[in-house]
Structure 1
């Protein structure tokens, strides 16, 4: 079963080169690796020193770049055009009656304005790679942090809208009806739902999918790291480690008072101070791994091989590397006290909120809406909680705790 490792971070932190180096380290260890770039800046080829063909209207294929190492730059627009042509071919089997809808009149480029379409197609493509037996590890160079967090929410968002707009029972009736075109459309939507559900399940599978957050040793990066950790916890994404890149290596003591030496030592001391603050802010929840500054930017397979040796060791700050947390990030429901209508239940979820003032809670039918640090998630309540009302909420360290009491109108008598 293919393991998925996501590399997340802001632009300019060396995320792509570290993803490449990690992929090469796995490949050198004998594992079959595919590195895929979702970043539309297409810097993966630049880092590897390989030029991938991007012919208009065609989906870029997978290229072998080194022993055990394949690579692909996922072109979302080309995917959109290719999949849209497939949909048109499917719908054309339903006859010429259009029911007032002429999909053939649409240009695939017009669909790029629909939120989340291209991102979902890229995720579906990744899920297909992960389901194949061709690779042991799928390393993903993700878009910048904010874009990636938005992409992670896309599957749940789409599935939620489809469930409300065209529920499964209504699609089933259409699929078995006499209107052939509507039946084909229902089958197409069901196919989309199945693919997107597979993506959602893959991202939520903590046994298969994890992410590394790449950052730099700068004060402004600490807050960004904390926000991404909070967002990852809220969205149910397993965050394995924070990888601090471009840390200046230690140098022997020098007698010279040259300004360049003073600048170097001062800058390194500032970096180490930032890393120490990062350790304190993360409360030991995540290992903080160090990648030293390599000097010239590592471009090409030879330079990346040298960086891969550093990634192989990945020394943490301290004596012993922290263990990666792989427990499920799903909310846990527990009975707290009482019986019958006097029962109290809790829903507890891991949520290391950076700014408690951003915490927002809401209830919509059988779901609870949780927002924090600029990210929002819709959480489906367990059956017992659907018959309850929210009685209170509190932050308990790095966890959010919601309390529920039975609703007399809905509770079984």
Structure 2
């Protein structure tokens, strides 16, 4: 099975490319589903057919689905949400405000992706194509598994045991509710689902993230930041798609400067994302909607290639050993040394960027060593560890 995730800044054409890729995969004989996790669904517009929360058959080999976020929240979050609402109500929040605070940023997109677990484990489809929300939402969603994992590894077992022990006494004394066993059970179940989803999505033999961008300065900058964060959280990026490029046949004087600007930006993209392969999609003279137009669009984009192929598979994090020292290397392009803080605490490597922090659990060999040096050269963050000498 292949999982292909399209993400990028809002308005760059992710939905069109997702739907087109799905149409071509189906044409090649793969049983394919295109899933929209963007709360502002537009797959129905692309296919010209009403699509809802359940898979809708488009052709013999193609299905489409617009995830119902409210239903996924109800399945995965209702007991936890109920406890949070009750707790906040005790603190003086009105019910409406408490319900809003009980939905954390990124949850909607995260729960949408949990559908992948179901389809992957049941081998329902050969190809799953995910039309993701705009970049910022996607990054929040992809970082969520690390946050949950950190909590579950560090605090969950102790907290659950403690609450179970003190509940009979505490409930008579404290003036706020304590989580019940069914709340903890749902947290545990959600953790298992999230870990499973991450296992699938970070496996470069199964999943690929593809960045869609337009040849515009602001869009390129956001895509560069997104690429760095995707590397940080170990999600494999195998292809960059530059969309809405003005074709050669447009020679109107009005667009001459636009074409020159786009040409410069395309060169910038090629230099910035090298060695990741890049494909260019040209601006059409009409909307790309309906199965026939989508299929033609995909054929022009991928030429004679199979869109399920893995275009690039280098791991974003590598550990090397040399002369008794270990080097952890992480691709961190588009940031400077002053943007990055790195330190080790117990068995965790902590990497802090503007607005983001990642806790990486170190293997025993590195956790039992000490950090000698950290350097950032040519977009590669290298952290050198050396063994602690006994005695």
CA pair 29-186 structure 1, distance change in 2 beyond 3 A: same
1:283-328 Cα shifts (integer Å, max 9, x gaps): x22111111111112122232222122133189xxxxxx9832133
Does the 8 Å CA contact 2:79/2:186 hold for their aligned counterparts? no
Pick aligned residue for 2:259 from 251, 257, 268:
268
Does the 8 Å CA contact 1:35/1:140 hold for their aligned counterparts? yes
Q: TM-score normalised to the size of structure 2?
A: 0.83
CA pair 85-368 structure 1, distance change in 2 beyond 3 A: closer
CA pair 119-264 structure 1, distance change in 2 beyond 3 A: closer
**Distance in 1 of aligned mates of 2:79 and 2:124:** 25
**Distance in 2 of aligned mates of 1:333 and 1:52:** 48
Q: TM-score normalised to the size of structure 1?
A: 0.79
- 1:153 equivalent in alignment to 2:151: no
**Distance in 2 of aligned mates of 1:240 and 1:372:** 23
Structure 1 partner of 2:34: 35
Mapping 1:264-343, distance limit 5 Å: 264-282=255-273, 284-313=274-303, 324-334=311-321, 336-337=322-323
Does the 8 Å CA contact 1:5/1:139 hold for their aligned counterparts? yes
In structure 2, the residue corresponding to 1:36 is in which secondary structure? strand
- 1:363 equivalent in alignment to 2:361: no
Mapping 1:149-228, distance limit 5 Å: 149-167=139-157, 186-228=184-226
**Distance in 2 of aligned mates of 1:27 and 1:308:** 11
**Distance in 2 of aligned mates of 1:142 and 1:268:** 29
CA pair 125-172 structure 1, distance change in 2 beyond 3 A: farther
How many residues are matched?
371
Does the 8 Å CA contact 2:371/2:383 hold for their aligned counterparts? yes
Structure 2 partner of 1:123: 113
Deviation at 1:234, TM superposition (A): 1.2
Structure 2 partner of 1:319: none
Does the 8 Å CA contact 1:3/1:130 hold for their aligned counterparts? no
Q: Report the more deviating stretch, 236-245 or 44-53.
A: 44-53
**Distance in 2 of aligned mates of 1:84 and 1:161:** 17
Structure with max Cα Rg: 1
Flag structure 2 segments of 5+ consecutive residues without an equivalent: 169-178
**Distance in 2 of aligned mates of 1:112 and 1:187:** 18
Flag structure 1 segments of 5+ consecutive residues without an equivalent: 54-59, 92-97, 253-259, 316-321, 338-342
Does the 8 Å CA contact 2:3/2:207 hold for their aligned counterparts? yes
Does the 8 Å CA contact 2:279/2:301 hold for their aligned counterparts? no
Does the 8 Å CA contact 1:366/1:386 hold for their aligned counterparts? yes
Deviation at 1:191, TM superposition (A): 2.1
**Distance in 2 of aligned mates of 1:205 and 1:109:** 35
1:67-96 Cα shifts (integer Å, max 9, x gaps): 3111111122221124456889xx9xxxxx
- 1:46 equivalent in alignment to 2:33: no
1:357-391 Cα shifts (integer Å, max 9, x gaps): 31121223211111346543211112122222222
CA pair 11-85 structure 1, distance change in 2 beyond 3 A: closer
Deviation at 1:65, TM superposition (A): 1.6
Structure 1 partner of 2:64: 71
Structure 1 partner of 2:21: 22
Deviation at 1:392, TM superposition (A): 1.3
**Distance in 1 of aligned mates of 2:218 and 2:266:** 12
CA pair 267-187 structure 1, distance change in 2 beyond 3 A: closer
**Distance in 2 of aligned mates of 1:220 and 1:156:** 28
